[in-house]
Chains A and B, each alone.
Chain A
Amino acid sequence: MCRIGAIKSRNFVHPSQALLLMQSQQKGHDNSGFAMVMHDLGGIFAHHKHLPTLSMACTDEGLKLAEDMLHAAGFQRVLQWVPETNPQPGLDINAMPNYVFETFDYPKYFKSATQQEKENLLLDMRLKLRAALEKDEQGFVYSFWPDVATLKEIGDPRDIGTYFNLHEPDGKFTARVITAQCRQNTNYDIVRYAAHPFFLQGYTALANGENTFYLKNVEFQRKLHPGYIGFESDSQCFLYTLHYVHRELGWPLSYYKHVITPLPFEELEQRDDRETLLAIRQSLAHLEINGPNTIIGVLPDSTLFTCCDAKKLRPIVIGRTEDTVVFSSEVCGINEVLPDRDWECDIYPNEREIVTVGNELEVQRWKQ
């Protein structure tokens, strides 16, 4: 089983906090990996928030291939940060030769392009890079997006933290939103792409649980969008549905819940908006999820949210202070990160709500 967590703060937070959040829950996960997505970057990336940052783990050949492709496409590198690694003997980590965080300026002919065109370009570029580096596992391209950085690796999260010096806070590598998870996909093959959080065009999602409608979701999603690929994990479906509902259809986030866990017909019939809800349930029947799960998601505007399956079969707790909100599968994780908070204000979301945290840390609870 997975354990998932997220931190959203007014201040920039170092990934050491995410490790702290997850490590106390290690009895619930299997210590088989560490993965995080950071939104709203600080530190060395703070001055290039509008430019896309490439997050990639690769071989030397993979790095060259990717950079050549980016340069050929007209991208110009403005910043490169390679985390200092600490390869001590005995560390349980399946490390790649290079971990690259590079920020690029858009190609010149895109200077006057619309936001939509730029966003499509970034997705196309990431998909091309991913495809090119897939051969012989030359590299894994996790995200290529403004103000977002991703790190994923296989191994013991504590050792991964040691390898990347993530236990020691610094001001270089920080973000206002960090989502994290400490387990590789042990149900199927161990593949780096299978570790959540998953990222697509500003949206991040991670989940604790199973999606027993995986096949239904996959078969439908494959035809919906060129970015819906991979499907190494059943939880990727959560991200793609989020992306489809919120970005492609342009529906408010509250309707995400109506798509993935529609109200039972009996309840739906009692509602004033039954016509709308029924139309949604009908047309998006193949995006419904079943099975036990809790989802944490991040929107392009850095809103953090969570929701559960329709029977609340997986836990999630939200703890908060004046300047920080923490989502966690288990309360022990929050106790580590926010030991002095008022625990009576903790939120235990129910099966019919979405809890969102905006950029002023205002919490909203939307009942389905």
Chain B
Amino acid sequence: METMNVQSVTPNDMPWKIRYDASRCTLCGSCVAACSFRAIECKVERRRMVFSETELPEPKQRFSAVPVIRQVKSIKHYCRGCGICEKVCPNEAIRPERNIDTRHPVLIRCLHGEAIKRGGRKNLEAVMRTLDKIRVARISQMTDPSLDAQRHSFDLLAPFGRILPPKKLPMGVTPEGLLEVNRQTPPVRWVYPVIIGDMSIGALSWRMWEAVAMATAYLNEECGLPVRMCSGEGGVPVRLLKSKYLKYMILQIASGHFGWNRIAKAMPHMIEDPAGILIKIGQGAKPGDGGLLMAAKVAEHIQAIRGVPKADLLSPPNHQGLYSIEESVQKMFLSFNAAFKFRVPVAIKVAASATSVSVFNNLVRDPYNIVGGFFLDGIDGGTGAAHEVSLDHTGHPIVSKLRDCYLAAVAQGRQGQIPLWAAGGLGKTGDLAADAFKMICLGANGVFTGKLILQMAGCVGNEMGRCNACNTGMCPVGITTQEPALVHRLDVERVAQNIVNYFLAMDQELKKLMAPIGNSSLPVGRADALAAIDRGVAEKLQIQYVC
């Protein structure tokens, strides 16, 4: 018997076990080649065969060396359950299987002495979501006929920019009896109510980012849907900054200021204004953690675009130069408004939190009218890398917090003045139209989404711990890696096509939801159109309870 050490790492300590059927395997090696985590390897096993060649048993034995595929016994190269081996195997000879007895969370902390980092999604809860307990229940019927989603026209646009209270509009009546705006007003862009959320070049592979940018341009230029994409905090290719397609991009600045050097330098050469500026204060999936780009992903082109050396890149969890909301309004918002000569709306993104309403109130009451959007990010989203403890345990669900902010605006008669945009796990079930629509009825002007975009591109991760390796630079489908070999697995045109098709389908579905409640423009704040099948949800959101 071989000696063994109970402290040794074995596959049954791991979150996933490889199930391998040697009898089906042709030893083509595809699985080993394809596994970006190097979690499987070719090995030779010593086998003993006992046999008898006579009628009566006269046992003989034969030893042979058999080539096989085996799971690597390493805490570093462990299987993430991505299933790429199964995908590439011609004979269905190999697949990962979830190990419910895993000791991984304990082992990895014990062996590394460091906090666990992983790709971003919350993995603790698999309960029914709040949005799934809400129905669109006010169906127009006899006296207020529903509309026809195919035949009628719909105005599916949402504001991005600061909207003035009616009495502050600088308007006068001309002698001809016409109203005329006689002073500059804050810039407002009317865009599609689903913004492609902020995922940086760096977090995403350059090809993935390019695919999203291509899809955005196509949706605008060919499909007539004014979809906007947020750059994320990682800079923008200079060629794009100087192109006409910049008008579809929302440029993000966050606490790391990555990429802004290039953006600032490109400003004199811009032929279009960007769609907007989004100042990221916090991120819903990992509030207090900040962005984290592991050195493994800081490839040469990422160093160039961000202007940084190859190192772990952390966006600090807070903006080091700010210490109050009032100051942020004066300093940050004003400087960005001024930088683009007050032609480009400047918005803020914060993590949903117990304090969100206070932050929102402060901004909505600012006398300068310069904060052009409140992007509220809940706990259930997230695409980047972070500490597991942050991903799983910090943050605030988005639905009630969005509603709280809207009702705070209603209480002051200021609804709509700072457009509310919500995110955080929307589209988690694959159905973004329904989630977006319900959020709009609860008071959102629109929603933004990131994780779902990755899934459109072929991301195999899920909320049950599958893959979640965005931080490693080893993304098996080429979405969140800078390794050329892995990135080339991604078919850019196909990804762009998937995103475009998803948006077209979603557009039809949004109309299919607007038609029965009889609305031709977005029902922002029409909570009377909703009903909850859960009393707690109904009470908290102030919508009707039905059963």
Contacts and interface: CB of A to CB of B under 8 A. Distances in A.
A209 interface: yes
B169 A290 contact: no
Instruction: Report which residue of B166, B171, B173, B528 has the largest number of chain A beta carbons within 10 angstroms of its beta carbon.
Output: B166
Interface in B159-208: 159, 163-167, 169, 171, 173, 177-181, 185, 188, 190
Describe B's contact surface by its main secondary structure.
Answer: loop
Contacts of A147: none
A210 B413 contact: no
B144 interface: yes
A165 B527 CA distance: 46
B527 A215 contact: yes
Given A288-B521, A292-B145, A224 B159 contact: no
A273 B176 CA distance: 13
A226 interface: no
Interface stretch (B149-157, B241-249, B499-507): B149-157
B513 to A, nearest CB: 13
Contacts of A279: 164, 169, 171, 181, 185
A212 B521 contact: no
B524 interface: yes
A12 B521 CA distance: 43
Contacts of B412: 223
B144 A213 contact: no
A265 B190 contact: yes
Contacts of B159: 282, 285
B381 interface: no
A78 interface: no
Given A265-B155, A276-B171, A282-B159, A311 B165 contact: no
A286 B140 CA distance: 20
Contacts of A290: 518-521, 523
B177 A213 contact: no
B525 interface: yes
A313 interface: yes
A220 interface: yes
Nearest to B168: A283
Interface in B94-145: 140, 143-145
A186 to B, nearest CB: 10
A291 B518 contact: yes
B415 interface: yes
Contact of B525 (A1, A223, A262, A286): A286
Chain B interface residue count: which class?
A: 35 or more
Given A212-B144, A213-B523, A311-B152, A255 B179 contact: yes
Instruction: Report which residue of A212, A220, A288 has the largest number of chain B beta carbons within 10 angstroms of its beta carbon.
Output: A212
Nearest to A212: B518
B387 interface: no
Contacts of A254: 177
B72 interface: no
A283 B526 contact: no
Interface stretch (A19-27, A59-67, A245-253): A245-253
Contacts of A251: 171, 173, 179
B144 A210 contact: yes
A219 interface: yes
B415 A210 contact: no
A262 B522 CA distance: 13
A264 B155 contact: yes
A264 B156 CA distance: 10
B189 to A, nearest CB: 10
Contacts of A291: 140, 144, 518-519
B373 interface: no
Interface residues of A, number: 43
A1 B165 contact: no
B179 A252 contact: yes
A311 B27 CA distance: 67
B232 interface: no
Nearest to A221: B413
A252 B180 CA distance: 12
A283 B164 contact: yes
B153 A264 contact: yes
A252 B526 contact: no
A279 B519 CA distance: 21
A366 to B, nearest CB: 10
B527 A276 contact: no
Contact of B169 (A220, A283, A292, A313): A283
A213 B144 CA distance: 11
Contacts of A219: 410, 415, 525
A14 B526 CA distance: 42
B173 A224 contact: no
B166 to A, nearest CB: 5
A77 interface: no
Nearest to A224: B413
Contacts of A209: 143-144
Contacts of A220: 410, 413, 415
Nearest to A214: B528
Contacts of B410: 219-220, 223
Contacts of B157: 265
B166 A249 contact: yes
Contacts of A1: 143
Contacts of A214: 528
Interface in A241-297: 244, 248-252, 254-255, 262, 264-265, 273, 275-276, 278-280, 282-286, 288, 290-292
B517 interface: yes
Contacts of B147: 311
B276 interface: no
A247 to B, nearest CB: 13
B416 interface: yes
A252 B179 CA distance: 8
A288 B521 CA distance: 9
Nearest to A208: B143
- What are the 9 A-B residue pairs with the smallest beta carbon separation, nearest first? A223-B413, A210-B144, A215-B528, A212-B518, A282-B163, A283-B166, A290-B519, A219-B410, A291-B144
16 contacts: A212-B518, A213-B519, A216-B526, A220-B413, A222-B413, A251-B173, A264-B153, A278-B190, A279-B169, A279-B181, A283-B165, A283-B169, A285-B524, A290-B521, A291-B519, A292-B518
Given A223-B410, A285-B159, A285-B416, 8 more contacts: A210-B144, A212-B523, A215-B525, A215-B526, A220-B413, A251-B173, A264-B153, A276-B180
Interface of A: 1, 187, 209-210, 212-216, 219-220, 222-224, 244, 248-252, 254-255, 262, 264-265, 273, 275-276, 278-280, 282-286, 288, 290-292, 310-311, 313
